[in-house]
């Protein structure tokens, strides 16, 4: 009888150990059932915030310690996307935005998504202009997922972060980028070019002046510019870092006009 009782107790302990191991694994790696549950809760949460819109899962984050992050995307609005978190299967929210805001308030209502998308659209258009007008500088694809040759920050001011919410009224959801916005919202253009030899500060100044001239000729009036030139002859990455030349952030008003000899 005692042996039978010991076997039952040992079986219970074994089951408890297995459950503990499963819970530990779930805490670290998550599980597909909890993930699917969190995704469905995130979609329901978003559709309650934005009635009449249909949401899908754009991507999944986390999944450890019973916390599942889900990025949701509206099918009706490209700029209506944000992340939602479900904790312990029942607690779903989109807390965690800047300055005490929720994520949908920051990303959608304060126009962070819109500003980023418009910046990408502007960068695509500016890239075409640079390739056509200044092909000699081989502007390199270093920026963003698209590896563009330029990067554009809408709402840029010196020594501050980009704050699209300050210009939210000028950034309607899902509206296409219009270059006239550059006259209303201070914006920075950053480009990286490949120089045939070790670049000097004079080379940077020359390219800076030409880029500004070409941009303004084509209707793009940026408030700030930043040019980096890399050394095409650098034998390795570290040497390249040491030999590149940069302008830093320069206000458009402080850039001299391109000389007739160097104008593109």
CA distances from 88 to 49, 105, 242 (A): 21, 24, 49
Of the pLDDT bands very low, low, confident and very high (cuts 50, 70, 90), residue 191 is very high
Kindly state whether residue 171 falls inside one of the protein's structural domains: yes
Q: Which of 198, 216, 200, 197 is nearest to 255 (CA)?
A: 216
Claim to verify: residue 143 and residue 214 sit in the same structural domain: yes
Q: What is the tens place of the pLDDT at every residue in 20-78?
A: 444 544 555 458 899 999 999 999 999 999 999 999 999 998 767 789 999 999 999 99
Compute the CA torsion angle 52, 57, 58, 60 (nearest 10 deg): 140
Residue 127 and residue 207 in one domain: yes
In a domain, 156, yes or no: yes
pTM (predicted TM-score)? 0.81
Q: Are 117 and 79 in contact (CB under 8 A)?
A: yes
147 and 244 housed in the same domain: yes
182: its two tokens: 């550059």
Mean pLDDT across 242-261: 87
Based on the structure, what is the number of domains in the chain? 3
- Cα–Cα distance for residue pair 256/254, rounded to 1 Å: 6
Residue 259 lies in a domain: no
> Based on the domain organization, do 157 and 199 belong to the same domain?
yes
Q: How far apart are CA 83 and CA 108, in angstroms?
A: 11
Residues 158 and 126 in one domain: yes
pLDDT digits (tens, 9 = 90+) for 150-173: 899 988 877 666 577 788 899 999
Which pLDDT does position 22 carry in this prediction? 42
Q: pLDDT tier at 136 (50, 70, 90 boundaries)?
A: confident
Residue predicted with more confidence, 93 or 32 = 93
| Domain at 236, CATH number | 3.30.300
Regarding whether 155 and 47 lie in a shared domain, the answer is no
Q: How many CB atoms lie within 10 A of CB 116?
A: 18
Does residue 260 form part of some domain? Answer: no
Q: For the segment 57-67, what is each residue's pLDDT rounded down to a tens digit?
A: 999 987 677 89
- Most confident listed range (80-84, 130-134, 195-199): 80-84
Three-class secondary structure of residue 83 per DSSP: strand
Indicate if 119 and 182 belong to the same structural domain: yes
Longest dimension (CA), the chain: 104
Q: What CATH number is attached to the domain comprising 90?
A: 3.10.450
Same-domain check for residues 227 and 163: yes
Examine the domain organization and report whether 193 and 77 are in the same domain. no
My answer on whether 219 and 147 are in the same domain is yes
Evaluate whether residue 172 is within a structural domain: yes
Question: What pLDDT is attached to residue 87?
Answer: 93
In the chain, the N- to C-terminal Cα span, in Å, equals: 97
Of 88, 109, 130, the domain-final residue? 109
Dihedral angle computed from the Cα positions of residues 222, 254, 227 and 264, in that order, rounded to the nearest 10 degrees? 80
Please identify, among 109, 127, 143, the residue that sits at the C-terminal boundary of a domain.
109
Full domain range(s) for residue 157: 112-254
Q: pLDDT-based confidence at 261, cuts 50/70/90?
A: low
Task: Mark whether 123 and 245 lie in a shared domain.
Answer: yes
Query: Any residues with CB less than 8 A from the CB of 30 and at least 6 apart, and which?
Result: 62, 63, 64, 68
- The verdict on 202 and 228 lying in the same domain is yes
- Rounded to whole angstroms, the Cα distance separating 205 from 201 reads 6
Domain end residue (candidates: 52, 74, 109): 109
C-alpha–C-alpha distance, residues 120 and 148, integer Å:
9
Q: How far is CA 255 from CA 21, 183, 210, 242, 247, in A?
A: 64, 17, 10, 25, 11
């Amino acid at each position: 009888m005692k042996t039978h009782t010991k076997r039952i107790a040992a079986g219970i302990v074994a089951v408890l150990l297995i459950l503990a191991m499963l819970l530990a694994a779930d805490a670290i790696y998550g599980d597909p059932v909890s993930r699917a549950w969190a995704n469905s809760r995130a979609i329901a949460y978003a559709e309650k915030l934005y009635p009449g819109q249909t949401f899908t899962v754009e991507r999944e984050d986390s999944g450890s310690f019973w916390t599942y992050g889900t990025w949701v995307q509206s099918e009706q609005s490209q700029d209506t996307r944000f992340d939602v978190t479900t904790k312990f299967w029942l607690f779903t929210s989109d807390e965690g935005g800047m300055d005490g805001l929720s994520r949908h308030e920051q990303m959608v209502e304060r126009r962070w998504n819109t500003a980023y998308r418009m910046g990408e659209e502007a960068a695509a258009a500016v890239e075409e202009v640079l390739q056509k007008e200044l092909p000699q500088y081989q502007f390199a694809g270093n920026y963003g997922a698209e590896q563009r040759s330029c990067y554009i920050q809408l709402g840029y001011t010196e020594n501050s972060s980009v704050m699209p919410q300050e210009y939210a009224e000028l950034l309607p959801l899902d509206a296409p980028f219009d270059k006239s916005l550059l006259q209303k919202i201070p914006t920075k253009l950053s480009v990286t070019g490949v120089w045939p030899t070790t670049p000097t500060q004079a080379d940077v100044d020359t390219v800076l002046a030409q880029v500004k001239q070409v941009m303004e000729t084509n209707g793009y009036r940026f408030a700030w510019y930043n040019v980096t030139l890399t050394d095409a002859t650098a034998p390795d990455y570290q040497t390249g870092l040491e030999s590149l030349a940069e302008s830093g952030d320069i206000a458009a008003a402080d850039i001299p006009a391109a000389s007739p000899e160097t104008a593109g």
